[in-house]
Structure 1
Amino acid sequence: MSRDQGWADLPDVLLHSIIALASSFTDLFAFAHTCCSWRAAFFSYPSKSAFSMIFPPVLLQPDASVHSPCHRPLGDKRTCHVIDPASKHSRIGYHIPLVNLSRANNHPQNSLGSFCFLGASYGHLIFSRNRSCLIVDVFTGVSFSPPQIPGDESTEVYYGALTAPVESPNPYLIATNESHSYFWRVGSRSWLRACPCDGTVQQIVTFKGQVFGLDSGGMLFVVHLAPLIRVRMMGVSWEEISTRHLANLYLVACGDMLLLVGCQGSFPARGDTFEVFRLDQSTEHAMWVKVEELENWAIFISTDKRSQPLSFRNPERWGGRSNCVYYYSHDSEHWAAFELGKPASSRNSFVFISSGNLVQPMWVVPSMFSQSP
């Protein structure tokens, strides 16, 4: 006698066909949390990273708590907003497995209370405390720590980033203090320092398999990870950019272009303009060339410059607009957009840029969907 089968007993081949019909990351999260068998089918889906080309990043909003009748205390977890532009539901409450996302939760007794935020990349948040680092998956809460960074107890790290998704071959964590950049190959037993090193990086981006970095003065570097760690400054013409007095520069990988995004204003607001330049290496001397239009691309920047900027193609598929820079508006507590090259006109057009110890609103592609660059 055959037993009755329920939803939890559906075969993986059928569940995978359901996954393929998802219309947003929110749909996929809901599917994965239906039951254990559906969650297993979700993680066995063979091409999850392809969804990052279909769905836009989600906006993690840690400074806005969600009060839900279904909420139950989850120990060191906090419920906060995740805004999914591709979802019909503008705001959804998620249990983010971190405790110090805002000042309200930053207490000494919390396990992360004394850690400081260093950056975010490939769906992971990076923290430090003196010479110790902690890497945490934003949505699963899975965390791991590298060995202590070389130095003494006064060593203070202010920037951290991954060069590739954690599950990809040979990803590195880069950690930077005032004088040095340190490199840890995920899973190894020690850190390495660049030699030679032309400077310390404050932003990195992996573009066509090559790691590029930017320092506080806007100088561009190439970071070589093999066979030896080297940080080499690139001679790039800045003439067109320096005359425009752009602030808050972001290095962004966008399709087949490496872009430098900046704004005429330290805190972009109504009347300010975002401008974009692409790296042109077709001549003997590389230069930044003005980009008049992003065509069918959009760029996503976060409140903290140490959070990985993202790009997305054909945002019209989810109701967005191409040729725009998307950001978090603290006034409206929602996302908004600057059209490239045009002064912002909305009264909600204010971007608060900060680099503090706490996690700020950021755009995220969940780690299970991150693509190797």
Structure 2
Amino acid sequence: MQSHSKLRIASASAQPVVPGLHGWADLPDGPLSSILALSGSFRDVLAFAATCRSWRAAFSSYPNKSAFCTRFPPLLVQFNVCVQAPDLPSNKGRHELRTCKVIDPINKNIALRCQIPQEIYQEMHFAGTSYGQLICGRAGYCLVVDVFSGAVVCPPRLPFSGDFEFGKEFYFSGTLTAPIASPNSHLLVSTAISLFDWPVGSDSWSELQLSDESIEQLVEFNGQFIAMDDCYKIYALQLSPQLGLQEITTEWVGHLPPSSYTKPWLVVCGDMLLMVPCFWTVSSGSSVLQCIPHHLDMSTNPAKWVEVNQLDNWALFVGGDMRSRPFSCMSPERWGRRSKWLYYAGRSSFIVHGVGDERAPSAGPKVEYERRRPRAGKLQPLWVYPSIFYTDAQ
């Protein structure tokens, strides 16, 4: 990780290289890209983009912004902590925005914030996060909200076939298949009885009625979308020629399989698809939280969930609500954290636990490990990468 002093030195030395400059705003794209590549945190990158119009344009045209998501950890958004700042109307004046606290694991002491529409906190059902967007819904209507800008996309009303009075419009999960501005992006939303697909920008949804369990998590793995229901069955998802699910038969190998008391996360970790259940065990008279990941070995039939004792140089980032997207990061030592740990999005800060055979320090608070779905409007802290880092130049 580059220090701030090195970044300033590199920036200052760039000006004399190009003759005829009248100020920092006149730097051409080449030196600006070199400066941007030296960023040591998301805060550095965001400050770069906010410097002036020409620097913002240089950031927008930077061809590999998504690489920052592999270099830096995600940001922790605490919807439960309202920052002491005035709530502001959005640019179009249609949504009142609430200002919430954001923590950067690289430097917990630097104040960051985001703005979320107030209506999200009233009666909306949380469905998931994806590509920097928050996905919520109510009474057949969905909102896709940029976590940091508060910008809102409103899809058409869902074509419900059930009765709202009996809770069949409850939102179990939601995800995007690509960044919201991508031409091939789809919004997938699961309810108690159906899975819905909206090609972003179109006028209608397609519906797949579910015969058995509800879909709780959706992830992209090796170019394919994988869905997991509330009984931990795994499915391959297809979008065309029509929406469909194909079950992947699996069996569990190793430690305790997940149960209703150990709701697992489905995490993509490099070339592995992990299921990460956590459960309490008793060791030396005290309770210890164990996180035992299993990776899906699809070379056999049926596929097997095989226990992973060592995560090597990976770290996992998860939220209390299983529908908020979990992340994995390689070599967190680069920015002052440790591998083989699970970073849990707590209500006051993040909390760490060892993964597999790794044991986290005994000092520090224990996580309040509750895997139930929160009530409508009760957004839990979660990890997110800003949406601007998913807009690589084509």
Q: Structure 2 length normalisation: TM-score?
A: 0.82
Bigger mean CA deviation after superposition, 46-55 or 340-349: 340-349
Structure 1: 5+ residue runs without aligned partners?
A: 107-112
Whole-Å Cα distance in 2 between the matches of residues 236 and 4 of structure 1? Answer: 63
Asked if the contact 2:293–2:307 (Cα under 8 Å) also holds between the matched residues in 1, the reply is yes
Whether 2:315 is the aligned partner of 1:298: answer yes
Is 1:160 the counterpart of 2:174? The answer is yes
- 2:324 paired residue among 307, 320, 344: 307
1:362 aligns with 2:382: yes
In 1: Cα distance, 2:379 partner to 2:65 partner: 27
CA–CA separation in structure 1 for the residues paired with 2:54 and 2:104: 25
- Higher mean alpha-carbon deviation, 28-37 vs 5-14, is at 5-14
Deviations 1:9-59 (A, max 9, x none): 333333222211111111111222223332222212121111111111111
Pairing 1:276–2:289 present: no
- Asked if the contact 2:160–2:169 (Cα under 8 Å) also holds between the matched residues in 1, the reply is no
CA contact (8 A) 1:270 1:350 kept: no
In the alignment, the residues of structure 2 paired with residue 371 and residue 12 of structure 1 have an alpha-carbon distance, to the nearest angstrom, of: 17
1:248 to 247, 263, 267: 263
Partners of 1:264 and 1:343 in 2: CA distance: 14
Amino acid aligned to 1:48:
K
> What is the letter of the counterpart of residue 350 of structure 2?
W
Quote the Cα distance in structure 1 between the aligned partners of 2:353 and 2:157: 41
User: 2:188 and 2:255 mapped to 1: Cα distance?
Assistant: 27
2:201 to 187, 209, 224: 187
How many Å separate the matches in 2 of 1:324 and 1:359? 24
Instruction: Look up the match of 2:352.
Output: 337
| Alpha-carbon shift at residue 146 of structure 1 (Å) | 1.5
Moved more, 29-38 or 47-56: 29-38
Equivalent AA in structure 1 for residue 263 of structure 2: N
Match of 2:140 among 117, 121, 131: 131
Give the counterpart of 1:61 among 64, 75, 78.
78
Name the count of aligned residue pairs. 353
Identity of aligned residues (%): 39
Residue aligned with 1:22, SS: coil
Secondary structure of residue in 1 paired with 2:68 = helix
Q: Which residue of 1 aligns with 2:92?
A: none
Alignment partners' CA distance in 2, 1:195 and 1:130: 18
More displaced, 164-173 or 319-328? Answer: 164-173
> What is the alpha-carbon root mean square deviation over aligned residues?
2.7
For the residues of structure 1 that align with 2:258 and 2:379, how far apart are their CA atoms? 31
Structure 1: which amino acid aligns with 2:77? L
